[in-house]
Structure 1
Amino acid sequence: MPKKVGSKWADWLTEALAVLKPPEKLTVSEWADKYRVLDSKTSAEPGLWSTDRTPYLRGIMDSFTDPIVEEVVFLKPTQVGGTECLNNMLGYVISQDPNPVMVVYPNEKLAQFTSENRLQPMVKLSPALESRFHENQSKDLELQFDGMYVVIAGAASPAGLSSLPARYLFMDEVDKYPAAAGKEADPRSLARERTNTFPTNKKIMQTSTPTLRTGPIWTAWESAHVQMEYYVPCPHCGEYQTLTFKRVIFDSKLDPEIIRSVSHYECVFCNGAIRDAHKPAMMRAGEWRDKNGKTARKRITGYWLNALYSPWIRFGDAAVKFLSSKKAGNEELQNFINSWLAEPWENTQIKLNSDKVLEKSSGYEEGVVPDRTIILTAGVDVQKDRMYYTIRAWGEDMTSHNIRHGVVETWPQIEDVMNISYLSRDGTEFFVNLCAVDSGYNADDTYDFCAKNAEWAVAIKGSNNPMPAKYKLTKIDREDRGLFGISLYMVDGGYYKDFIAGRLDRKSNEPGGWFVYEDCDEDYAEQVTAEQKVSEKRAGREIEVWRPKTSHADNHYLDCEVYAAFAADCVGIRYMRYEQPGEPPKPPEDKPVENKKYWLQGGNSWL
């Protein structure tokens, strides 16, 4: 009997200690791997959760437990596990750090459906969550747990958004939220106010597939303190890179099923063929980095993925979807851009394509100066480890021809390219009259270079906002480098992009055309047409601005051509006229000597 009493006492003490025991010190991904169970109704792979299946989600989930991070922005496509990422964070809070939670969906109907079919089944499938769930005290839109509640609201319901305080705020598919909650303000703003009670330890997570560039999730991504992308190593050369759709190689003429099976991805560094079988190992070895290669998170950290990273999507699937969407029209193409590439759809006013550039072949070979050229100008776009350049020949009416473009790695190489002579077909020699060099990335080295080569090079800085004039000259000093009175031109990039777009539309026989040399490479054509002019709202009014077609489009050659066009304007090409070389003077004809009498010969002279 005493033994039995002692046993009860021991059981009671064990239970009491279990209640007092602090929660395990786990990250969200570790908690999910240990406790999360996926439902067969809502998951393609039911059973125990494994972050190794979608390794890119580990960094996003674990940022939620990073004390530095207050807000997570996840710009996502479909089919990468984005919603489950949010659900794992919610499960972690219930199990590890009970505090008031608000979860917001686009409308109350979706909130009700998600609660019944995803959130409550998630709780009941996991013993770590079910043991804390007070089902009898809960409603579909207000779940009760030990020491906390979860309010589930629709973005269109101001009452639901302003009901209770919340330390944790989750907002799903924010681009589908209404602009206002009834007569109230923006739903996201109303929801954020619920976290004001927790000024020092609140956590906010918002995620969505994007719609427009002016939409909530894209705006949040652009304003995040750091934008992270998932870099994966090439299985052949080991170089890290992000996956972009333009590197997917496929033959559009093949049958769709063949495209699905034979398409591959081409490494941006070694051009090696990356197959679908390589993806799992690449994903496991990947890491989140910002554009400078740094991995540090900040208070508001943004994450971006496209569907190419998904273990459930083949490279060929993306190719087939693109081709079918393009054929179906804008509505389907927008769905591909938004839901597969996780990029915003543009309300396009002017859109160029690379085919139009390649059609503008002048018939001249690379390096040959076309007939009736007056001057040559150049543009240089400076990047971290390389410099892009273009050289353009200009004639009357600003008719222009690209005669050379390329990439170099050093400033001496730029000097070499700009200081050699270029010949026309009749042997006339031309040199670059003016080269405009971008100072946006490496200003000090650019200023040094332009000061050293002041007779033919000037530093410029592009402006994305409209300017009163096409360009403006300023003078700057760099006392620490002994440079004074450096010329720096501020250039209206939008104006010159309009100029290039307008000239590309001119017919071949029309004065003022914009041409490229024979057999121009496609990469140049793609970069020159990497941007489009779109309508955006600013301060309540519509404006038109140039934006990249996709977030990863290289536009270096377009910038070079903008700078070369500015350089031509700067030297006054608009007012120059071509002077036909005159015919060489004819040698004097031999004339018979007249039989004249001069004073030395006598005659009637005084001698």
Structure 2
Amino acid sequence: MRSKTRCKGLQNLSWISELQIKKWQRALKEISKRAFEQFKPPERMTVSEWADRNRVLPVGSTSRPGLWSTDFVPYMRAIMDAFADESIEEIAFIKASQTSGTESALNMLGYTIDQKPHRLLYVMPDEDTYREFSEERLQVMLTSCDCFKGKFDENASRDGFLKFRGGFCKLTTANSPSKLASLSIPYIIMDEIDKYPRWSGREANPIKLARERSKNWPGMNKLVLISTPTLKEGNIYKAYMESDIRFRYHVPCPHCGHMQPFLWENVKFDSKEPATIVEYATYYECCECHGVIKDYHKPEMLRRGKWIPENECKGRPKKIGFAINSIYSPWITFGQVAAEFQRSKNDPADLMNFINSWLGEPWENLSANMDIGSVMDSRTEVPEHVVPKWAQLLTAGVDVQKDYFYWTIRAWGAKLTSQNIAYGMARSWEELESIMDKFWPDEDGELRWQVQAYCVDSGYRTDEVYEYCNNHQGIAIPCKGSSSPMVSKYRPANVEPKIKGVRPALLYIVDTDQYKNIIVSRLHRPIGIGAWMLNRDTELVYAEHLTAEHRVIRTKGGRQVEMWEKKTSAKQNHWWDCEVYAFLAADLVHVSLLDDLPEEGGE
């Protein structure tokens, strides 16, 4: 009644026009509307719904700029929406390249800032990564989406700390244990966790520290773990396997409707063709009806796909895991995946990257299963001291000891096909010289093969090695194992011998781990082209040397690395080192350039 009386009083004032009163009424209505919008609770929606309404991908930040559409990457919907599910405390996501993993993490951040403002922590592997992420990804999102206007305080923010109304986003690295240990935050996203150091100083590992920081927020805490996998012992694979329930995305066959995950084994192509051909002649085969699935089928298959659990869970799960590979990516064709494999398959380092980044699977080195039996299985029908008919050159490797020399001689052919033809021990430099100068017979008995180059380990009796190699320049080459991982398999280095009158030698530093990886991968191939083989008469003692080491995981420079170490039960490994040096010698004479021999009777 009081408000009506006041309005009538205003209307009775002759000096106030009716038009002015209407202006005041409209202004009061607008102020009330703004106040209501300011304090009304946010509309309940999922993360994917929020992203579809509000997320804008600026030009230059993606190959598909404009409004975000979860329908384009429908497999990300359940992962993002799990972030807003109050019953879920931990999400582990194994991602492959080009699957929108980081963009989805940004959607979780944006959703929190706009819908559920609170404290939020985002952890990256190192400082360079987090600064790049803050400047080029996160801050770009906050300034390009209208929903953050009036909420994101750009003036009060900096690279590692973004202030918004109702909370903040702290960005830090896994190398900062003090920062991880001092914060109490309910929402934590940890990106690329397989690149984190295993230990942060004297503190617990970064993931355990993050879990400790969020446990003070029961009913609110949310931990998201995202990464491309590395090893089975890596952080993301362990988190995925420890999830209460693990999901794989299944899609329907366009021909029979059978639901199935996209698997590498069903990508069909001719492995004998080069990558340039494979890329355009690859298809996917249904595991049920064996129908041919083309790239144009993929969008509809993804749209109709579902996350299906791999295991059973009693009760309500709190930890859930998701895993996906690049075959699902709408940006990548079946042929591109196959072509990448063709380019990577002959190099263990490249193959590991393919397994991790493209297939989204942890790398399991075959050397972990290497035993004497598998080594002896690589023996061919060609006897000892005989050069196979496919051979085109011989190289050798020498491991120097106090009173004797271990040596091995290996035949090489096209596509790195190789076979050991002889091995043994020499008691003197003169005896070693006579062995390396010897002519070896082919399968027809003709003595026409001689070692073209051999590498001699200079880690022991160094000056003697330099002198010997100086006297056999162009054939005998000094080498030394690297004490740390290298980018390339080997590199040259000039050394100055201590003996007067001896000219400087060109020493080759060799990454023995890389060579041993390649040898083991080729040892597990079937006998034939491209395989690493032994002669028919190879003895058990030689296989014992080759299996004297195994791959182990060690922490170096704050990071987990795989490396070769001698087994505690092993006695000798000298011929294993000789094989590495023989491989190095083959590389130095450009073994990779060898062509297939013409067939008999051909031109």
TM-score w.r.t. structure 2 length?
Answer: 0.58
Q: Do structure 1's residue 56 and structure 2's residue 88 form an aligned pair?
A: no
- 2:187 maps to what in 1? 168
Partner of 1:410: none
* Corresponding residue number in structure 1 for 2:360: 342
Matches of 2:375 and 2:256 in 1, distance apart? 35
> Structure 1 residues 175 and 66, CA, compared in 2 at 3 Å: closer, same or farther?
same
Paired residue for 2:5? none
Could you tell me how far 1:40 is from its partner in structure 2?
2.2
Tell me if structure 2 keeps the 8 A contact 1:108–1:157: no
Q: Which amino acid aligns with 1:210?
A: P
Q: Hey, what's the Cα distance between the residues in 2 that align with 1:307 and 1:38?
A: 21
Q: In structure 2, how many angstroms separate the alpha carbons of the residues matched to 1:331 and 1:270?
A: 36
Report the equivalent of 1:157. Answer: 176
Find out whether 1:333 has 2:377 as its counterpart.
no
Change over 3 Å in CA distance of 1:167–1:43 after alignment to 2: same
1:118 aligns with 2:134: no
TM-fit CA distance, 1:164: 3.0
Indicate the residue corresponding to 2:331 in structure 1: 312
Q: Deviations over 1:421-473 (max 9, x none)?
A: xxxxxxxxxxxxxxxxxxxxxxxxxxxxxxxxxxxxxxxxxxxxxxxxxxxxx
Tell me the residue number matched to 1:587.
Answer: none
Aligned counterparts of 1:66 and 1:506: Cα–Cα separation in 2? 58
**Aligned position for 1:69:** 88
CA contact (8 A) 1:349 1:535 kept: no
Q: Is the 8 A contact 1:348 1:534 kept in 2?
A: no
Range with greater deviation from structure 2 (343-352 or 33-42)? 343-352
Amino acid at match of 1:310: S
2:428 corresponds in structure 1 to none
Shift of 1:177: 0.7
CA gap of 1:117–1:536, structure 2 versus 1, over 3 A, is closer
> What is the aligned partner in structure 2 of residue 80 from structure 1?
99
- Secondary structure (helix, strand or coil) at the match of 2:93 reads strand
1:508 Cα offset (Å)? 9.9
CA spacing shift, 1:16–1:275, aligned 2, 3 Å: same
Query: Structure 2: which amino acid aligns with 1:220?
Result: A
Q: 2: CA distance between counterparts of 1:46 and 1:195?
A: 35
1:30 CA displacement: 0.5
**Could you list the per-position Cα deviations for residues 160-187 of structure 1 after superposition, in whole angstroms to 9, with x for gaps in the alignment?**
3234321100000000011222343211
For the 8 Å contact 1:74–1:207, the answer to whether it is kept is: yes
| 1:223 has 2:242 as partner | yes
Equivalent-residue separation in structure 1 for 2:309 and 2:376 (angstroms) = 33
Judge conservation of contact 1:106–1:177 (CA < 8 Å) in 2. yes
CA contact 1:123–1:129 (8 Å) conserved in 2? yes
Q: Is the 8 A contact 1:346 1:534 kept in 2?
A: no
Compute the displacement of 1:534 (Å): 7.3
Cα contact 1:247–1:265 (8 A) shared by 2: yes
Alpha-carbon distance, 1:80 to partner: 0.3
| Cross-structure match for 1:265 | 284
Deviation, structure 1 residue 507: 10
Relative distance call for 1:359 and 1:248 in structure 2 (3 A) is farther
Q: Which runs of 5+ in 1 are unaligned?
A: 361-500, 511-532, 545-607
Structure 2 CA distance for partners of 1:163 and 1:332, relative to 1, 3 Å: same
Q: Which amino acid is the alignment partner of residue 127 of structure 1? A: D
Runs of 4+ in 1 over 6 A off after TM superposition: 293-297, 355-360, 504-510
Contact kept, 8 Å, 1:276 with 1:314, in 2: the verdict is: yes
**Is the contact between residue 126 and residue 175 of structure 2 (CA under 8 Å) also seen in structure 1?**
yes
Aligned length: 379
Deviations 1:249-296 (CA, angstroms, capped at 9, x unpaired): 001233423311120111111111111111101100100011259999
- Structure-1 residue corresponding to 2:220: 201
Matches within 5 A, 1:410-489: none
Letter of the 1:112 partner, please give it.
R
| Alignment partner of 1:192 out of 211, 215, 229 | 211
Q: Which residue of 1 aligns with 2:21?
A: 2
- The residue number in structure 2 matching 1:235 is 254
Whether 1:128 aligns to 2:165 is no
Alignment of 1:514-593 (within 5 A): none
Structure-2 residue corresponding to 1:139:
158
Corresponding letter in the other structure for 1:207 = I
Residue 297 of structure 1: how far off its partner (Å) = 7.3
Q: How far apart, CA to CA, are the structure 1 residues paired with 2:104 and 2:222?
A: 15
Give CA-to-partner distance per residue, 1:390-443, whole Å, 9 cap, x none: xxxxxxxxxxxxxxxxxxxxxxxxxxxxxxxxxxxxxxxxxxxxxxxxxxxxxx
For the aligned residues, what is the CA RMSD?
Answer: 3.4
For 1:508 and 1:296, how far apart are their aligned partners in 2? 59
Partner of 2:450: none
1:565 corresponding residue in structure 2: none
TM-score, normalization by structure 1: 0.58
Q: Give the 3 Å change call, closer, same or farther, for CA 92–350 of structure 1 in structure 2.
A: closer
Equivalent residue number for residue 31 of structure 2 = 12
Partner AA of 1:81 in structure 2:
S
Supply the distance in 1 between the matched residues of 2:262 and 2:233 (Cα, whole angstroms). Answer: 24
Which secondary structure does the structure 1 equivalent of 2:152 belong to? coil
Aligned counterpart for 1:254 among listed residues 273, 283, 290: 273
Tell me, yes or no, if the aligned pair for 1:289 and 1:295 is still in contact at 8 Å: no
Query: Distance in 1 between the 2:236 and 2:148 partners?
Result: 30
Query: Retained in 2: the 8 A contact 1:226–1:297?
Result: no
